[in-house]
Chains A and B, each alone.
Chain A
Amino acid sequence: MATVRFTSALKRFLAAPPAEVAGATVGEALAAVFEARPALRGYVLDDQGALRRHVAVYIGGEAVRDRVKLSDPIGPEDDIYVFQALTGG
């Protein structure tokens, strides 16, 4: 099972604890998280299911390449980090 961890910046808006989920791709792993926590989806993905422009997802220290279809493969031991990319002031 891969582990998906979310930025603590989300805590102000909704609960986003680490989740252990099954899936072959980043998209499948996130979909499994959102199934349990549907309100979280809109914070991470846009209306078409792509990563929000100012959200970053890393697998084992590397940013995912496919930010639109989220097809990057993941392994069962991977840690997936979802956090905010720098913006604003």
Chain B
Amino acid sequence: MAERLYVGTRKGLFELAPDNGQWDIAATHFLGDPVSAVLAQGDTVYAALDLGHFGAKLWRREGAEAWQELAAPAFPPKPEDAADDPHPWSLGKIWVIEAGGLPGRLWAGTMPGGLFRSDDGGESWLLNEPLWFMPERRQWQGVAGGEQPGISSVLIDPRNPDDIRVGVSTAGVWASTDGGASWSIINEGMYNEYMPPEQKGLPIAQDIHRLARCAAHPEIVWCQHHNGVFRSEDRGHNWHEITAIRPSKFGFAVAAHPRDPDTAWFVPAVKDERRIPMDGKVVVARTRDGGRSFDVLRNGLPQRYAYDLVWRHALAIDASGERLALGSTSGGLWISEDCGDSWSAPEARLPPISVVRFASN
């Protein structure tokens, strides 16, 4: 299978391929349209669009065939007794698409907080009603002061497709061990600085920016939380804060090494309302010892007057564990072949980047 990197931006999807040792843009897709999520499984690529006028759409391309529009996930008719539901029963945005570990199975995390499943390669989708109808779901808070909560992360245990972890902004980590038939909120040990004192430690009050799991050791889960970095060694039930992160603890993205449970990458920034890199320098923080210490990686990244922010889905790692990609709100795109020690940028001035993703086998 060809090596590919897909970069979803505010103005289209860019497909990159290695060319004489350098990654370069090999094709463009959906130019002009906002891309909110991408999944590339072998030669099959899924792209979610977030059209300003016409809503969230889902397209699929298989091999060299033309893109085909699929039915986007849709909410069922809103029942009358749900009139006081604070969240709309209509798809706002597809935020993440993940392979479900079974042939044809996909999961889509969305705004306003619906989790959808497909068992036919995206041809049709069903809302996961057990999670949507949890009474606590109505307490989920909107993203960044917005009206709609969002499911930013869906983690499937590579050894058991029924074991699912869902990260919600803002509503904690939810777990199912029966394929989505039942759910519980599981995250203990996190705290949310901006909440009132009595609510700081509530699992549902936690702003989970992004979750990442070590594929070979699925009990290890990393979290870039709104106010810090946390790690769990028991599948997301109990968390401890990683205080050694440098140069700051705020950020959105996290990538977990596929085999080494002690290695992960983060992209720290100045927190809360400012949301810019520390001192105008783009850096990646890497730990190789489970979070006890961090290397601050900057070789090849802009170090002067740089205000690139990296969103939740804009840091990716491939199956080798050595190749990473980083995309920014300023359209910066950097690729590393050496675990982040050095980075190079393809020749391009891209639109703001929402998602980067390597094709998987």
Contacts and interface: CB of A to CB of B under 8 A. Distances in A.
Interface string B275-310: 000000000000000000000000000000000000
Q: What is the size category of the interface that chain A forms with chain B?
A: 10 to 19
B90 interface: yes
Contact of B89 (A47, A52, A85, A88): A47
Given A13-B69, A14-B69, A48-B89, A43 B77 contact: no
Interface stretch (B21-29, B50-58, B156-164): B50-58
Interface in B59-84: 69, 71-72, 74-75, 77-78
Interface in A55-69: 55
A87 B53 CA distance: 7
Interface residues of B, number: 17
Nearest to B75: A47
B77 A48 contact: yes
Contacts of B185: none
Contacts of A85: 53
A49 to B, nearest CB: 8
B53 A42 contact: no
Contacts of A43: 51, 54-55
A55 B52 CA distance: 10
Contacts of B75: 47-48
Interface of A: 9-10, 13-14, 39, 42-44, 46-48, 50, 52, 54-55, 84-85, 87-88
30 contacts: A9-B53, A10-B54, A13-B51, A13-B57, A14-B69, A39-B69, A42-B57, A42-B71, A42-B72, A42-B74, A43-B54, A44-B54, A46-B55, A46-B88, A46-B90, A47-B75, A47-B89, A48-B75, A48-B78, A48-B89, A50-B90, A52-B54, A52-B55, A54-B52, A55-B53, A85-B53, A87-B52, A87-B53, A88-B52, A88-B53
